[in-house]
């Protein structure tokens, strides 16, 4: 089980770091369309570790912070969270809120939190955090994508690398209890239309 989760973690992390535009185009197309991809992408791993020193991500989720610019030239930080574990995590909304507020306090630019829910529960759909008391209200809503919601036919028809990763992820979730393990399978970096020279290994 630990090996499978570890493979999930590594595959998603590598794909995200190498193909951020494709990631956003597949899962969050409106955000992709608003980013100026002519400008450099800056990954802020050190900064993310500094605002969340108590978090030891381990092998059940991926957190990445990146600086981009919108088409109007304004700077923007995007906090991307991928929940790899098969179990639900009731602390996720609070954790995303804490990360978001700490990063904003440090950088003083808009911070957009996104979540990919790769778990196996159809019912678990966190999308907000907040509370209110005595006239005070605090509220944060964050966009999410549930991998189980994407029709298999759409995934099979898509040339995107992330469609292939999603299919493999779901296949592994469906079969790992029966097989008791998984062997890594290479996925061409260019998706179904890729050259195959660069591969990302994902569990079977």
One DSSP character per residue, 96-129 reads HHHHHHHHHHHH-S-EEEEEEE-SS-SS----EE
Dihedral sign for Cα atoms in the order 84, 88, 91, 96: positive
Cβ burial of 148 (10 Å; 0-12, 13-18, 19+) is middle
pLDDT score, position 179: 60
pLDDT score, position 87: 67
pLDDT score, position 118: 87
pTM to 2 decimal places:
0.81
pLDDT score, position 187: 53
How far is residue 77's CA from residue 75's CA, in Å, rounded to a whole number?
7
Under 8 Å between Cβ of 103 and 140: no
- If the chain, 204 residues long, is cut into consecutive pieces of 10 residues, what is the mean pLDDT of each piece? 54 90 96 95 90 62 90 92 75 92 93 91 92 96 94 95 92 71 51 44 47
pLDDT score, position 194: 42
Q: Which two tokens stand for residue 173?
A: 């979730």
């Amino acid at each position: 089980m630990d090996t499978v989760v570890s493979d999930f973690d590594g595959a998603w992390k590598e794909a995200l770091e190498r193909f951020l535009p494709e990631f956003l185009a597949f899962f969050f197309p409106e955000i992709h369309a608003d980013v100026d991809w002519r400008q450099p992408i800056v990954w802020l791993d050190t900064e993310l570790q500094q605002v969340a020193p108590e978090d030891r991500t381990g092998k059940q989720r991926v957190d990445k912070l990146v600086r981009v610019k919108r088409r109007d030239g304004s700077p923007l930080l995007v906090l991307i969270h991928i929940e790899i574990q098969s179990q639900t995590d009731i602390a996720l909304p609070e954790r995303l809120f804490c990360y978001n507020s700490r990063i904003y306090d440090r950088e003083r630019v808009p911070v957009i939190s996104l979540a990919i829910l790769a778990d196996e529960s159809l019912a678990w759909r966190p999308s907000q955090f907040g509370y209110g008391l005595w006239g005070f209200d605090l509220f944060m809503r964050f966009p999410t994508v549930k991998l189980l919601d994407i029709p298999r036919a759409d995934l099979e028809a898509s040339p995107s690398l992330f469609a292939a990763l999603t299919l493999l992820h779901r296949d592994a979730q469906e079969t790992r209890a029966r097989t008791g393990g998984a062997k890594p399978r290479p996925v061409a970096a260019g998706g179904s239309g890729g050259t195959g020279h660069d591969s990302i290994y994902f569990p079977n």
